């Protein structure tokens, strides 16, 4: 993979509903967690809902749009509008792909409909329910709103969904299946049903102190915090972007995706398959490990998940003090949107030469051979970064992005 340029970005998150606000709050160490209403025992518990500043009407004039769409699709629409506006490129209707990742579509919409059915009976079920909650509705609404007729695809590979969506979109461009791609991920799964399931599985953080709830790679990490939102990027071939004088945020150089085939929720503990994904993306980029200046890690703050990623990074990069950070201490784990949000953070880090701190972490796991960014942002020259995303079901994805070398 050589010539895929990233020319636009959009974000809807707990700490900002534009890329610039998102980035500013990452650097400033803004914490996006809030208490969960109606939570289970042993609280308070925490999750990271999209900022109250989010207003779909700021992006679209049609007042019916909010009624016709669930939040996961609304977030994706807004992020796509930002990304397309920033890219400033024409979207050839039959040559523009839309590839979005999500892990759950609109589970909250389905559970609310079930509750209404239980209270009021069959007549209370909306005729639009199916067409609102199924996972492909985020990509479908983007295509419909923009009048696009190219490939319209939805990827659902758990927490790896958005990186896989971006990798697939890049391959479509490389293979001639499209000229422009709108790609990324979206998630809205903040639902008590999901929270209680994850609490019983001891996956979510039990911490009652907000600032300690998510601590990626910390010795005392205890689980992740549920988050939501969307991130979208615009991809096009580098020569097309150069020809029209576009701003190029980065060049997508490498992508790899594989299955560790170990367990439905736990990664293979040695980290060898996560390592294989990292090394596969490096091979695709034709770059040696020492060409990577920093890693934006998956870093969920779970004991077993972070342990496997620590081993994978150690083994892929050796013992050098490679700067590594995770943004999940700021915004929680946004599941299918987490990879693209990490990518957008990495692109801003390349622009400004600064990595945000791994918020919440104060005592890095001693098994880590790398240099975790803690305490404050770190200024560092970044020419190439790697972004990881690993998900339930053994979904391992990694991408390599480099600065434009013109």
Same domain, 200 and 290: no
Cβ-based neighbour number of residue 271 at 10 Å: 23
Same domain, 212 and 268: no
**Strand-by-strand arrangement of the 46-48 sheet:** 34-35, 46-48, 226-227
Tens digit of each residue's pLDDT (9 = 90 or more) over 38-69: 765 667 899 999 999 999 999 998 888 888 89
Stretches where the chain sits below pLDDT 50 are none
How many structural domains are present in the chain?
2
| DSSP assignment of 148-216 | --S-EEEE--GGGHHHHHHHHHHHHHHTTS-SEEEEEEEE----HHHHHHHHHTT-B---SSGGGS--T
Q: 343 in a domain, yes or no?
A: yes
Res 405: pLDDT? 84
Residue from 45, 141, 330, 333 carrying the catalytic annotation: 333
Same domain, 301 and 369: yes
Res 40: pLDDT? 58
Q: 352 in a domain, yes or no?
A: yes
Q: 133 in a domain, yes or no?
A: yes
Res 297: pLDDT? 98
Nearest to 271 by CA among 263, 258, 260, 282: 260
Res 39: pLDDT? 67
Specify the DSSP class assigned to residue 16: B
What span, in angstroms and rounded, lies between the C-alpha atoms of 183 and 168? 9
| Among candidate residues 200, 220, 243, the one where a domain is terminated | 243
CA distance readout (Å), 403 to 242, 247, 292, 346: 14, 12, 11, 11
Same domain, 46 and 193: yes
Q: 164 in a domain, yes or no?
A: yes
Q: Are 247 and 288 in contact (CB under 8 A)?
A: no
Q: Are 385 and 350 in contact (CB under 8 A)?
A: yes
Res 239: pLDDT? 96
Res 2: pLDDT? 74
Tens digit of each residue's pLDDT (9 = 90 or more) over 85-142: 999 999 999 999 999 999 999 999 999 999 999 999 999 999 999 999 999 999 999 9
Same domain, 239 and 375: no
For position 396, which CATH number holds?
3.40.47.10
Q: 248 in a domain, yes or no?
A: no
Same domain, 384 and 286: yes
| Among candidate residues 220, 243, 266, the one where a domain is terminated | 243
What span, in angstroms and rounded, lies between the C-alpha atoms of 219 and 336? 26
Active site residue 21: no
Which helix (H) or strand (E) covers residue 142, if one does? helix 137-146
Let me know how long the chain is. 406
Which range of residues forms the domain containing residue 64? Answer: 4-243
Strand partners, 264: none
Specify the DSSP class assigned to residue 326: -
Residue from 149, 298, 330, 379 carrying the catalytic annotation: 298
Same domain, 138 and 156: yes
| Predicted model pTM | 0.96
Compute the CA torsion angle 348, 87, 91, 156 (nearest 10 deg): 20
Q: Are 328 and 214 in contact (CB under 8 A)?
A: yes
Same domain, 34 and 174: yes
Active site residue 145: no
Same domain, 362 and 311: yes
Residue from 21, 159, 200, 379 carrying the catalytic annotation: 159
Query: Where do we find the tokens 């013109």?
Result: 406
What span, in angstroms and rounded, lies between the C-alpha atoms of 227 and 163? 17
State the burial class of residue 146 (Cβ atoms within 10 Å of its Cβ: 0-12, 13-18, 19+): middle
Q: 265 in a domain, yes or no?
A: yes
Same domain, 105 and 206: yes
Cβ-based neighbour number of residue 286 at 10 Å: 12
Q: 365 in a domain, yes or no?
A: yes
What span, in angstroms and rounded, lies between the C-alpha atoms of 178 and 219? 45
| Among candidate residues 217, 243, 269, the one where a domain is terminated | 243
Res 41: pLDDT? 63
Same domain, 103 and 205: yes
State the burial class of residue 57 (Cβ atoms within 10 Å of its Cβ: 0-12, 13-18, 19+): exposed
What span, in angstroms and rounded, lies between the C-alpha atoms of 240 and 7? 11
Q: 65 in a domain, yes or no?
A: yes
What span, in angstroms and rounded, lies between the C-alpha atoms of 28 and 19? 14
For residue 123, how many C-alpha atoms fall within 13 Å in the half-sphere facing its CB?
Answer: 1
CA distance readout (Å), 210 to 33, 34, 371: 7, 8, 25
Active site residue 149: no
Backbone torsion region of residue 229, taken as left when φ is above 0, otherwise alpha when ψ lies between -120 and 50, otherwise beta: left
Same domain, 226 and 139: yes
What span, in angstroms and rounded, lies between the C-alpha atoms of 215 and 223? 8
Q: Are 324 and 386 in contact (CB under 8 A)?
A: no
């Amino acid at each position: 993979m050589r010539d895929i340029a990233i020319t636009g970005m959009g974000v809807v998150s707990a700490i900002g509903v534009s890329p610039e606000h998102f980035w500013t709050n990452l650097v400033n160490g803004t914490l996006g967690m809030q208490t969960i209403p109606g939570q289970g025992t042993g609280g308070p518990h925490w999750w990271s809902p999209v900022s109250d500043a989010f207003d779909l009407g700021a992006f679209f004039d049609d007042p019916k749009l909010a009624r016709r769409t669930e939040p996961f699709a609304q977030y994706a629409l807004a992020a796509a509008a930002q990304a397309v506006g920033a890219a400033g490129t024409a979207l050839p209707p039959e040559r523009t792909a839309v590839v979005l990742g999500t892990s759950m579509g609109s589970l909250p919409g389905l559970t609310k409909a079930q509750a209404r059915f239980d209270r009021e009976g069959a007549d209370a079920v909306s005729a639009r329910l199916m067409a609102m909650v199924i996972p492909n509705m985020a990509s479908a609404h983007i295509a419909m709103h923009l009048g696009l007729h190219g490939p319209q695809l939805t990827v659902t590979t758990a927490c790896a969904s958005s990186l896989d969506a971006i990798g697939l979109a890049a391959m479509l461009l490389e293979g001639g299946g499209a000229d422009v791609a709108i790609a990324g991920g979206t998630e809205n799964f903040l639902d008590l049903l999901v929270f209680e399931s994850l609490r019983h599985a001891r996956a979510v953080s039990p911490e009652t102190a907000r600032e300690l709830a998510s601590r990626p790679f910390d010795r005392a990490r205890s689980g992740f915090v549920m988050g939501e939102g969307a991130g979208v990027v615009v991809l096009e071939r580098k020569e097309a972007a150069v020809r029209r004088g576009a701003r190029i945020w980065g060049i997508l150089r490498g992508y790899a995706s594989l299955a560790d085939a170990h367990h439905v929720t736990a990664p293979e503990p040695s980290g060898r398959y996560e390592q294989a994904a990292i090394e596969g993306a490096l091979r695709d980029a034709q770059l040696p490990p020492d060409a990577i200046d920093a890693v934006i890690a998956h870093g969920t703050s779970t004991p077993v998940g972070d342990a496997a990623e620590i081993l994978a990074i150690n083994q892929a990069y050796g013992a050098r003090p490679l700067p590594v950070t995770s943004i999940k201490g700021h915004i929680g784990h946004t599941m299918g949107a987490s990879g693209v949000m990490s990518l957008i953070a990495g692109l801003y880090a390349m622009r400004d030469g600064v990595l945000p701190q791994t918020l919440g972490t104060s005592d890095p796991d001693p098994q880590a051979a790398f240099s975790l960014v803690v305490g404050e942002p770190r200024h560092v020259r970044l020419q190439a970064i790697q972004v990881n995303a690993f998900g339930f079901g053994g979904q391992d994805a990694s991408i390599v992005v480099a600065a434009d070398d013109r």
